[in-house]
Amino acid sequence: MNWKIPLFKPGLDDGDIQAAMEPLREEWLTMGERTRRFEEAFAERLGAKHAFAVSSGTAALHLALAAAGVGPGGEVLLPSLTFVACANTVVQLGARPVFVDVADQDDWTLGPAALEAAAGPKAKAVIAVHYAGFPARMEEINRIADERGLAVIEDCAHALFTRHGERNCGTWGTFGCFSFFSNKNMTTGEGGMIAAADDASAERVRLLRSHGMTTLTLDRHKGHAKSYDVLAPGYNYRIDEIRAALGLSQLRKLDGFLEKRRMVYQWFLEELADVDKLSIPFRGADSNGAGIHIFPVRLKTPEKRAAFMEGMQERGIQTSIHYPAIHRFQAYREMAKDAKCPITEAICASEVTLPFHPYLTRDEVGTIGAAARELLARG
Ligand SMILES: *Cc1c(COP(=O)(O)O)cnc(C)c1O
């Protein structure tokens, strides 16, 4: 399908391409200085004490859960309105996902009241997702987690870098997990980052990312270490130097991308203001400091969603759904049969994601708005 207006554009330039080729020319492909510099630059921009580059956002979530001590018999509280990796990684560790409804019709992040009601004695951690790039209610989530001794994991795959109060999303919880998948606000193809708030958590992540080994290839290469011990059965979730180089290059341009995304966001609000058959979430949120990732809307006539998306496709406009509710997937239905997520279910039945990326023009936003108006005016 050759879309006239695609859902997203990675937007790589010659600088990115040059940067990615350098490690290939130098033949130092993994665990080198670029990875270290990428982690340092990212941690500094985020305002985090520790950041570790990993092979994907999913790897970041898996590491965060493992480092938080999630395992068999434990429960993890998370929204059903998120990407399935959040729940898959919980199940892979032998724990049970407990799905929590979102706050309300406008705020599609974890609902603190629903969280409080769902948190039982087996709960070990909570995953807060900053949906679309808008911050979850971290003050309340942290308070509830503190009272119950839960680790707080922020899924920041959409929220790079979203300001919330005095801090960025990803530094409120115990861990902040980021994705650099090709459709995210910044990309390395596949890749991710995990921020850790304290030294002990960071040490767990450092170990588990690389087989649980006490010393790393780079240390041994530098002659700092000769052998190693293994302290825990860890994973190989490392990134490579090619991706780290691309990440460093992308990171330098990110603030410009984010500024442009906020502008496109305002264009959409302006364009869709008179389309009364659509509703736009997060109208109560402050978008000024948000690293906005997608533009979700809800149709007031959910039964017309398939026809609406079909009509958009006929006009060359790509749309998507973020997300089908996890607790309704075949793999989750049985284990989540007690889930109480009525707001999530209503959202999931009526949501459509419109194209959103920093290269959209005002005219293209106008084209999308006109198509939406026309399609929704039909009987
Ligand atoms: C993309 C995404 C992930 C997973 O990241 P990958 O890098 O694709 O593994 C997790 N959670 C959310 C909300 C995402 O959007």
Is 304 marked active-site?
no
Alpha carbon of 63 to ligand 1 centroid (Å): 14
DSSP per-residue string spanning 21-36: HHHHHHT--BSSHHHH
Residue nearest to atom 3 of ligand 1 (CA): 57
- Given 4, 9, 124, 184, the catalytic residue: 184
Atom of ligand 1 nearest to the CA of 181: 7
Closest atom of ligand 1 to 190 CA is: 7
Residue 275 has pLDDT above 80, yes or no: yes
Name which of 322, 288, 356 is nearest 131 in CA terms.
Answer: 322
Q: Of all protein residues, whose CA lies closest to atom 5 belonging to ligand 1?
A: 57
Q: Is the CB of 82 under 6 A from ligand 1?
A: yes
- Of 267, 276, 316, 268, nearest in space to 298 by CA: 276
Q: Is the pLDDT of residue 195 over 90?
A: yes
Per-residue pLDDT tens for 71-119?
999 999 999 999 999 999 999 999 999 999 999 999 999 999 999 999 9
The mean predicted confidence, pLDDT, of the chain is 96
**59-85: burial string, b at 16+ Cβ within 10 Å, e else:** bbbbbbbbbbebeeebbbbbbbbbbeb
* C-beta pairs of 137-142 under 8 Å, 24+ apart in sequence: 137/103, 137/107, 137/109, 137/110, 137/112, 138/164, 138/169, 138/172, 138/173, 139/165, 140/112, 141/110, 141/112, 141/115, 141/172, 141/173, 142/172, 142/173
Which pLDDT belongs to residue 223? 76
pLDDT for 220 beyond 80: no
Q: CB of 171 within 8 A of CB of 136? A: no
Place of tokens 């203001």: 273
User: Crossing angle, helix 85-92 and helix 57-67, to 10 degrees?
Assistant: 40
